[in-house]
Structure 1
């Protein structure tokens, strides 16, 4: 988190998303304890970056009068946090851990689908900040 504070929240979100997707792929490939431990570490770092920086990002983009709506809406993320272990457990019990790649590759791809949206948000935020700086300089 100390390192992530030096970057914008959206860059940390992108990096967290990449770490989460990579850890899911490693879970599928993991055959020994070493890969499982590395997967868990990457997953934990990605999760910390995503969930802590999300609040900072929302605080940064939301207008003061709309922050309650933004933070309330992001609460729907918790629904996924509740449902994911249930569906993951069902997939593992149905197909078994022997075919881990067939389970974890789709999960990693679904996680990585967020990257283009995060990149677009990053570009828009940079553009907005440039406009605000130009406006402040000219005022």
Structure 2
């Protein structure tokens, strides 16, 4: 194997690890009052029309729509958002669910990376997380910690 190929592989691996490290820094802090206030406003403007004003999601969110796509899930404690680590939540919000689920998954949710800055995405996630009971926040924090450990 040539030195160029090996060097390119090392750069690619390091770049991927750096990109993952950057994603985890976007773990929203549900205790940051400024971020929560900003996130609430951004959620109202960009997310509530599908995910509900009270984060309740669309009716029958576990069953496919006539289009075959899944309805918007709730982001409150009754949904599954808190089951996902920070890196996944950030990436789904920024790039859309297909970026994480892959394959032929189709969703009505677009990625918001071109509409919201990384800081604004963090704020929306901080708002969502601030609404969860302590048990769900603790579980999600543990999932995020495990996710981060896997890349170190």
**Fold equivalence (TM over 0.5):** no
Structure with bigger helix share is 1
Compute the TM-score of the two structures, normalised by the length of structure 2.
Answer: 0.26
* Structure index of larger Rg: 1
Higher relative contact order (CA 8 A, sep 6+): 1
